[in-house]
Structure 1
Amino acid sequence: MKITVSKLVFSLFLFSSIVLFSCDSPKVKVKDKKQPNILWIFAEDLSPFMGCYGDSINKNATPVIDKLASEGVLFKRAYTTAPVCSASRSALITGVMQTTTGTHNHRSSRTTDGEIVPEKLRINLPKEMKTVPELMRRAGYFTFNSGKDDYNFHYDRNALYDVGSDDNYKVGMNGWQGNKAKYSKSITKNTWNARKDKNQPWFGQIQIDGGKAHAKFVRKGEELAANDVPIPPYFPDIPSHRSAWTDHFNANRGADVNVETIVNQLKEDGELENTIIFFFSDHGSPTSLRHKQFCYEGGMLVPLIIKGDHPLLKSGSVRTDLVSLLDVAKTTLVMGKAELPTYLDGQDLFAASYKEQNYVIGARDRCDFTIDKIRTVVSKEYRYIKNYFPERPMMQAGYRDKKPIVKDFKKAFKEKKLTKYQEEHWFGERPHEELYNLKDDPHQIDNLAKKPEYADILLEHRTVLQNWIKETGDKGQSPEHSVQLKATYNLWKDRSQFKNATVNPEYKKFME
């Protein structure tokens, strides 16, 4: 049985006809001299702890990223669609919310490395839906991605990217399958330099380790020590948590070095002047248990800077409107003069018709073997969170359980060394709904959903979410298909995080 996106639900979501494309190889246009090169510098797991975002710890410590911002457009409130890699990346590369395409569960359409993904595990996009790289190829662009794809749908990588698939990725329809696959992050091979026609415009992605790099790339003498950074009140003040929290400030410093290397290579190759750079991340910090995989600001807020020689990219601009990474997809297509399918969810960030959004929606579903469902709405003043499994604590079994931050946290809980808030928040039942004033309560600790005086604001955000679910046909409202869930079980059943834990009851049928 093939798992596909329902065309009926999909068409209802569009409210308009879909632009149809031929399934043949892309027909390349004659190059328009005005077409710029477009580069996505795509950081993994990186919260914006940078000088240009007003971070006091890293003030003057991220000079290259700060310079990009001062010469381009800085978006203060850019949000991902999901606080985990594959769901976020699946949305960005299609320009469509992952809950609409059925790509919301982390690392679906996967199997063990080196195997062809069997038919029954494949999530397929509608034939008429094309990814951003495919649309850019149709517009005459040479395309590449140096680093991981991590898409939750079945695809032929050679249809997306002109170079790199055979050397660094599983051949053919597999694409990049998970964190065991080897992949390249070169900036001199299989990137813009691989073009046969050096006059052809290019659209590419270079993935950088971002938050996963910890202090690896920090400039000599600039690494922060654990006691240099205050720890937020939702974490216990213990060495492993201090170290993990500080790690992410160092990771931002290291990301600055990575960006510098890329910019210098563009300059050396004579490509910088005609290249528009988008710098952003897929979601927030991996070293904080409350960022990655959760729908608080830490997981959803990401850096976004756009810089280049373009009349709409006003140097030194700072925007505070709510934007989504879905807007990056459409803005890229517009700047590349590519075709614009009507199914795209985002906006062109610089269009004359651009309308500021009052709300941005985010979603978290199964992450690795941990089954959860969270939806969130952020507005100009508030963040609303809906927990669909409140009986499952924040610290339910997960992929990070072997890490000191988890082990030490559980030890502190058993030894009753946590504050009352920390005990209830991390180890107790979660509230069905959460509401936070982001200005007054940046750490999101005081849940206003419980206060009668905020009933109208709570209802407003709840209604926005309910309407969005109905209008988009949110596929996360139905349980994951047992075939996909069994595949996840098979991937994790022999790993210590799974077999030594009390896992979600949905897996019991596979254990009998």
Structure 2
Amino acid sequence: MHHSIICLLSLSLFSLTVSAEEKPNIILIISDDQGYADLSAMGIRDDVSTPNLDRLASEGTRFRHAYASSPICNTSRCGIITGVYQQRFGMQWYGGPGITEWENPTIAELLKKAGYTNGYVGKVHYGSPNGPGTRNFPLEHGFDEFFGSENPRIHYLIHNQDAIDAFDAARAKNPEPSNSWGMGPFRDGEKEVDIKGMSTEIFGDKARDFINRNHEKPFFLYLSFNAVHNFTHQLPQEYLDKNGLEHYGDWDPTAEPYLDWYYRSRRPNNPDGRAHYLGQLHYLDQEVGRLMDCVNALGIRENTLIIYMGDNGGSRPIYAENTPLRGSKFTLYEGGTRVPLIISQPGSLPEDRISDNVVSAFDLLPTMLSVAGEVVPEFADGIDLIPLLKGNKPELQHDVLHWKTADEWSVRQGDWKLHTVHGEGAAPVEKVELEQGVFLRNLRTDPSERINFAQQNSDILAKLEGFHQEWIATLPKSLSKVPSATEWAEAP
């Protein structure tokens, strides 16, 4: 890259500040509700084909023990953008103020201060309030450009105000609470715009446009897909016809109760459910490939760090697969929190590597700041993964990680995981498995979490419980509300 202004390198005892000429571009791609096994490079599922994600993995390091900070979307995304446990500012479940109460800078604000031009494309989901002028809106926490939606459930195919108006009119005849399907306009900056097309392709196109306009200076692109979130039946007719799939159809408020439709669309009731899910994964993978091709064509690939990560565990009700892990989104089983993670920068980082080190979404902030030559702030809960990726510290990983929702908590150290379940949570409405009790798991010998080692390992259980109590003592009271049963069903 060539820039009109060249800064001098300055070396201090504590940090190395990289000139604008040398700062690499950073692209963070987030998928939504993707299953742990739903990456063909994993070699777990024969029905999965993700050639472009596999290509990205071959150009970097793929992690098999990477974790989200939460088993649901909005809280995990709070953790990504801030680089800390979201419980530190009161967020542990749906509801709550998102990053409104976060007083430290976000990753975007830190990179902007370092000279980056920042763009946000896609789904925004932290909490409420979330519109223009609020801290939860991308232009208010460090991004220079934004195209996307603050609706946590974005319709894949319909993006205009007339559709929302028509749906709301129909729903008025059946006032059952429900989500508006995210049919409404996208935002281009603060302005609402109607647009035609499939959301995954639209977001991919807008991401490439941002790169094309900003590739001659350091940029940070946060590309947040809504794929493969429900409702995966919303596929282009061309794809349905080509693959022999029936048009399932959205909920009609005048025809039936919402939950009747909802459960019919989900596991195990939808015979095309897995095919719909894989269709959305196909479009997601396609757009990752187009983005990589764009970066290659501009000649900036070796100066661009690309990170791909899932926001939380795969949602089994929509036919995501987390094999061999137990559980689903909404729970603190491994299937609810362990996610795909790929980090790649050919020429600077080794390629075609697989890591079993325990890492977290928190680590993205210090890793990005490290490649940008910036000091990692003291508030960060993550670790800089660059020494691990370069092979300088092959044993680098988290010693202890924590998770907490309204009804569960868990802690992992090494192979051991303590998982406590003291409420039903989302399980009854979302139809996911959640066993009550106290469970000590060994994730090396029993990755599917079927054996409870608590009785014969009381000393390990006590140590892990002590870690949890020490961590809890550092947190404020949660600001998240506990949703009603209907809101659970509408959980984005």
What is the TM-score with the length of structure 2 in the denominator? Answer: 0.68
d(CA) in 1 for partners of 2:148, 2:460: 50
Offset at residue 164 of structure 1 (A): 3.7
Among 174, 177, 187, the residue aligned to 2:204: 187
Hey, what does 2:464 align to over in structure 1? Answer: 461
- Give the letter for the 2:342 counterpart: I
The SS at the match of 1:147 is: strand
CA distance, structure 2, for counterparts of residue 458 and residue 224 of structure 1: 51
- 1:158 aligns with 139
**How many angstroms apart in 1 are the aligned matches of 2:408 and 2:268?**
30
In the alignment, what sits opposite 2:10? none
Specify the alignment match of 1:277 in structure 2: 306
1:223–1:357 CA distance, 2 compared to 1 (3 A): farther
- Note the 1:241-320 alignment, pairs <5 A: 244=273, 248=277, 251-288=280-317, 290-311=327-348, 313-320=349-356
The 1:455/1:138 distance shift into structure 2, 3 A limit, reads same
Q: Give the drift of 1:455.
A: 2.2
Cα distance, 1:379 vs structure 2: 3.6
Q: Which is richer in strand? A: 2
Aligned to 1:386: 420
TM value normalised by structure 1: 0.66
How big is the shift at 1:125? 1.7
1:261 deviates by: 2.4
Q: Which of structures 1 and 2 has the larger relative contact order (alpha carbons within 8 angstroms, sep 6+)?
A: 2
For residue 261 of structure 1, give the secondary structure of its aligned residue in structure 2: helix
Q: How many Å apart are 1:182 and its aligned residue?
A: 4.2
- 1:219 and 1:254 in contact (8 A); partners too: no
The letter of the residue matching 1:331 is T
The question of whether the paired residues in 2 share the 8 Å contact of 1:96 and 1:344 is answered with: yes
Note if 1:395 corresponds to 2:427: yes
Aligned position for 1:125: 102
Q: Does 1:362 align with 2:343?
A: no
1:102 CA drift (Å):
1.5
For residues 3-41 of structure 1, give each alpha carbon's deviation from its aligned partner in whole angstroms, at most 9, with x where no partner exists: xxxxxxxxxxxxxxxxxxxxxxxxxx9952211111011
For structure 1, the residue ranges without an aligned partner over 5 or more in a row are: 1-28, 111-121, 170-175, 226-236, 365-371, 401-405, 410-424, 502-512
CA root-mean-square deviation = 3.8
- Residue 90 of structure 2 corresponds to residue 102 of structure 1: yes
C-alpha distance 283-393 of structure 1, shift in aligned 2 (>3 A):
closer
Q: What 5-or-longer segments of structure 2 have no aligned partner? A: 1-16, 129-133, 154-181, 188-201, 246-265, 319-326
2:220 counterpart (195, 203, 210):
203
Note the C-alpha offset of 1:298: 0.8
Is 2:90–2:478's contact at 8 Å kept on the other side of the alignment? no
Q: Which residue of 1 aligns with 2:60?
A: 72
In the alignment, the residues of structure 1 paired with residue 226 and residue 54 of structure 2 have an alpha-carbon distance, to the nearest angstrom, of: 19
Q: 1:245, 1:288 within 8 Å by CA — same for their partners in 2?
A: no
CA distance in 1, matches of 2:407, 2:97: 19
- Of the three residues 367, 370, 376, the one matched with 1:334 is 370
Pick one of 44, 50, 54 that aligns with 2:39: 50
SS in 2 for 1:144: strand
Q: Compared with structure 1, are the counterparts of its residues 200 and 243 closer, same or farther at alpha carbon in structure 2 (3 Å cutoff)?
A: same
Please report how far the alpha carbon of residue 95 of structure 1 lies from its aligned counterpart in structure 2 after TM superposition.
Answer: 0.7
- Of stretches 326-335 and 350-359 in structure 1, the one that deviates more from structure 2 is 350-359
Mapped pair 1:376 → 2:410: yes
Question: For 1:399-452, what per-residue CA distance to the aligned partner results, in whole angstroms no more than 9, with x for missing partners?
Answer: x4xxxxx4xx9xxxxxxxxxxxxxxx65xxx43312223344333233333xx2
* Residue pairs, 1:421-436, within 5 angstroms: 430-436=435-441
Specify the alignment match of 1:113 in structure 2: none
For residues 192 and 252 of structure 1, do their structure 2 counterparts lie closer, same or farther at Cα, with a shift above 3 Å needed?
closer
Cα pair 1:134 1:159 within 8 Å, conserved: no
Q: How does 1:481-492 map to 2 (within 5 A)?
A: 485=481
Quote how far apart the aligned CAs of 1:162 are. Answer: 4.5
* Residue 62 of structure 1, aligned match among 50, 55, 73: 50
Superimposed CA distance per residue, residues 63-114 of structure 1 (whole angstroms, 9 cap, x where no aligned partner): 221121112111111001001111011111011110112122323228xxxx
Q: Which whole-Å CA distance do the structure 2 matches of 1:278 and 1:32 have between them?
A: 21
* Residues 228-279 of structure 1, C-alpha deviations (whole Å, 9 max, x = no match): xxxxxxxxx9842775566555654443223212222333444434221101
For the residues of structure 2 that align with 1:350 and 1:132, how far apart are their CA atoms? 17
Structure 1 SS opposite 2:223: strand
Length, aligned pairs only? 390
1:380-417 CA distance string (max 9 Å, x none): 32332122x33x37633x4x4xxxxx4xx9xxxxxxxx
CA contact (8 A) 1:244 1:288 kept: no
SS in 2 for 1:83: coil
Indicate the percent of aligned positions where both proteins have the same amino acid: 22
Q: Which residue of 1 aligns with 2:7?
A: none
Residue 345 (structure 1) shift: 0.7
Q: Which residue of 1 aligns with 2:475?
A: 474
Q: Which of 361, 364, 373 is the aligned partner of 1:325?
A: 361
- Inter-CA distance 499–305: structure 2 relative to 1 (3 Å threshold): closer
In the other structure, the counterpart of 1:136 is 111
